[in-house]
């Protein structure tokens, strides 16, 4: 029997639309799915001007009234709003007793993230955070290979996420460029993904050192406006992590890389070999075997890491691909729905989200104090 879960969405900006596409296309990509999402309600801050998009999405209810939204018979609420709004919105959802899927970062700061995790645990509510890179088949292959000892003891690692969309001096202000609303800049936005990937692949971090820079200090307040507003978040950040397993790694992020679209890479170096994930090749990891003295590309015949589904169960095959970014979001949302249908907890619950947020907070603390080392936990 196929189980239907009613999904309510909070927010219909860029990421809200991506989530909408993901939910809508799950039954198309997985025709034999045991669980089907139904887009049941949308909560927005205002009426907006997106009639065509809303009509295509097909929400039976579109409202700006939280009470009306929360009165709907929802099974899951998906939070797609700016970071600073997450805590209060999650608090309301928990009062209504719904499972919660939340965009990353979990909150604008560590205190809010921990509060959200505490609230969800006390309520016994299933939660999941959209750390979508965990679902890339190549990243899952890396996890399995590291766990199987294929590259021996991990010595060091390097990851980067480069975007170029903020190089335009005429790009106006947005909530992502205001510390009060976002909690940080490039590292809050992008680095939190790398922090979670490091934890996923290599375990806990024990210390952080970081440096940051802002390159464009003022932007127009609105498109075409002569009024200028100060940017108080980072455009670039470099973070060194010491891990509990003894390895050391570097995370670098920027939104100011000319020519970079979605340039994400993660390299792990062990005493018996190396692993490389490149976003341009999401389906296959590159592995160097030191004993054989050769590179190989693709699956290595190692089963998934303990407790994980095979990628094929949640990742659309090549004939149904939605494009890399949407594939990631679809896989993340679909696994949460499958977990709910099966009564299983998520490995990416709010406590995991708070753990990634702790690395982010330590990164900002270190940068604010001239790159001094910050011990974890904080």
Q: Domain tally for the chain?
A: 2
By CB atoms closer than 10 A (0-12, 13-18, 19+), residue 91 is middle
Contact between 23 and 35 under an 8 Å Cβ cutoff? The reply is no
Cα–Cα distance for residue pair 360/378, rounded to 1 Å: 11
Say if residue 126 is in the same domain as residue 204: no
| 164 pLDDT more than 80 | yes
Mean pLDDT of 41-65: 90
Question: Is residue 376 assigned to a domain?
Answer: no
Same domain, 152 and 296: yes
What CATH number should be reported for the domain holding residue 364? Answer: 3.30.360.10
Does one domain contain both 175 and 124? no
For the stretch 275-332, pLDDT in tens is 999 999 999 999 999 999 999 998 778 999 999 999 999 999 999 999 999 999 999 9
Residue 333 falls within a domain, yes or no? Answer: no
The reply to whether 374 falls in a domain is no
pLDDT tens digits, 130-145: 999 999 999 999 999 9
Question: In this prediction, what percent of the chain has a pLDDT beyond 90?
Answer: 94
Whether residues 359 and 231 fall in one domain: yes
> Looking at residue 220, what is its pLDDT?
96
pTM: 0.96
Return the pLDDT at 51. 85
pLDDT of residue 301: 81
Provide the mean pLDDT of the chain: 96
Residue with more model confidence, 211 or 47 = 211
pLDDT at 46: 80
- Say which residue the tokens 């009165």 belong to: 71
- Distance of alpha carbon 195 from alpha carbon 51, whole angstroms: 37
- Asked if the structure places residue 207 within a domain, the reply is yes
């Amino acid at each position: 029997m196929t189980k239907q879960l009613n999904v309510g969405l909070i927010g219909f900006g860029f990421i809200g639309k991506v989530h909408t596409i993901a939910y809508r296309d799950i039954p198309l990509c997985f025709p034999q799915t045991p669980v089907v999402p139904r887009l049941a309600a949308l909560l927005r801050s205002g009426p907006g001007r997106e009639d065509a998009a809303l009509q295509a999405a097909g929400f039976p209810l579109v409202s700006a009234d939280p009470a009306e939204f929360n009165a709907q018979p929802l099974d899951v609420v998906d939070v797609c709003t700016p970071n600073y709004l997450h805590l209060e919105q999650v608090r309301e959802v928990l009062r209504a007793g719904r499972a919660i899927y939340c965009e990353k970062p979990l909150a604008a700061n560590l205190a809010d993230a921990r509060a959200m995790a505490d609230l969800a645990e006390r309520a016994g509510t299933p939660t999941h955070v959209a750390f979508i890179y965990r679902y890339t088949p190549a990243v899952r292959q890396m996890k399995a290979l590291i766990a199987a000892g294929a590259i021996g003891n991990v010595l060091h690692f390097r990851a980067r996420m480069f975007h170029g969309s903020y190089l335009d001096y005429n790009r106006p202000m947005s909530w992502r460029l205001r510390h009060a609303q976002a909690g940080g800049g490039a590292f809050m936005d992008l680095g939190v993904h790398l922090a979670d990937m490091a934890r996923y692949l290599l375990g806990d971090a024990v210390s952080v050192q970081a440096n940051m820079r802002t390159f464009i200090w003022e932007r127009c307040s609105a498109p075409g406006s002569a009024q200028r507003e100060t940017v108080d978040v980072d455009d670039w950040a470099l973070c060194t992590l010491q891990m509990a397993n003894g390895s050391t790694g570097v995370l670098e992020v920027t939104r100011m890389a000319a020519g970079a679209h979605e340039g994400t890479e993660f390299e792990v170096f062990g005493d018996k070999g190396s692993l490389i994930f490149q976003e341009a090749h999401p389906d296959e990891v590159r592995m160097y075997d030191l004993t054989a003295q050769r590179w190989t590309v693709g699956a290595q015949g190692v089963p998934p890491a303990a407790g994980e589904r095979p990628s094929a169960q949640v990742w659309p095959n090549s004939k149904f691909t939605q494009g890399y970014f949407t594939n990631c979001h679809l896989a993340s949302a679909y696994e949460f729905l499958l977990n709910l249908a099966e009564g299983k907890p998520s490995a990416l619950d709010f406590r995991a989200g708070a753990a990634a947020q702790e690395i982010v907070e330590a990164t900002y603390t270190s940068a604010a104090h001239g790159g001094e080392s910050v011990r974890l936990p904080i």
